[in-house]
Structure formats: C-alpha cells, structure tokens
Amino acid sequence: MVAEFLDQIKEITAHGALSMAIALGIKLNLFEALAEVSSEENPATPEQVAKIASLKPRYVREWLCAMACGGIIEVDTTGEKFWIKKDRVEIMIGPNRNHAFTQTSMFPSYGKVFYDIVNVFKKDGPYEWIILRMPIFIRLCPHCLNLGTRKH
C-alpha cells in the first residue's frame, strides 16, 4: 500500500513537471517550430527546431527530450531527431488547438501567486482574494470574483 501511494506521488510530480514543460513549449512556440521542420519521414534535430524558434539549441534539446520522455512527441532510435505524430499536430498547434492541451498554460500563472495564496490561507492572512482578480483567474473562474468580499 505505501509503495503504491509513493508511486502515485511520483507520477503526480512527473505529470506536474511535464505540464510545466508543455506550457513552456506553448509559450515559446516550440510545437509550431517542430511541426514546421519535421515529420515522421524527416524528423528534426534540436538545432533545426531552435533555428526556426530563434532559441538556444541546448535548451531546445532538453525540452524535446522531456517531451519525448513524456510521450508528447516522438524521437528516433538515435535519440537525436524528433517529430510530432500526424494525428496530434492539430491538437497541439494552430487556431483549433485543443483546449485540454492549452490548459497547461495556466500552471505558470498559479506559480506566480503561490505565496499569495499561502498567505490567504493563514488565519491572520488577508481576507481579500486580490489574486482572483488577475486575468488568468478571471478567464478560468469568472464566478469566483465575489469571493473576495465574503468573510470566512
């Protein structure tokens, strides 16, 4: 039982890190860059992706490896070339990108207000939920806007 629980916690942690890496890829247009220069028939190197995205190849390589380890993109047997499966491209890039995929972009916003939320939880902390008035929270949770005026 304990081992299963620890495995569950490890999986949650890994998925959290992967979510942040996906959000990074969305913000830096790395998925678009990878799709532009690669296919299963002609996978791309990190250098090719970095050139298209105007980013540093070393960090692009790390990101590509994280995405491949997470099963988000594909990597060849050499571990040097990457691509997005055809059936995933539309989910991951473009104007019709799937909402489930882009939801990972909210996690960095939560990180920005983590310590503000910690303080709100404290008994002697502020009552007003100013953080809920931030654009990310307004988009994700518009019905929460009146929470700041309630006593708890």
pLDDT at res. 152: 46
Supply the range of the domain harboring residue 42.
2-104
Res. 75: pLDDT tops 60: yes
Across the range 73-83, mean pLDDT stands at 97
- Which CATH number fits the domain that encloses residue 76? 1.10.10.10
- pLDDT, tens digit (0-9, with 9 covering 90-100), for 102-148: 888 888 877 777 888 788 888 898 876 665 556 555 555 555 555 54
Mean pLDDT of the chain: 87
Same domain, 92 and 45: yes
Q: How far is 56 from 101, CA to CA, in rounded Å?
A: 24
Same domain, 40 and 66: yes
Same domain, 10 and 57: yes
Same domain, 30 and 100: yes
Q: What share of the chain is helix, strand, coil (3-state, %, to 5)?
A: 65, 5, 30
Same domain, 100 and 60: yes
Q: Give me the number of domains the chain comprises.
A: 2
- pLDDT, tens digit (0-9, with 9 covering 90-100), for 123-136: 898 876 665 556 55
Same domain, 9 and 73: yes
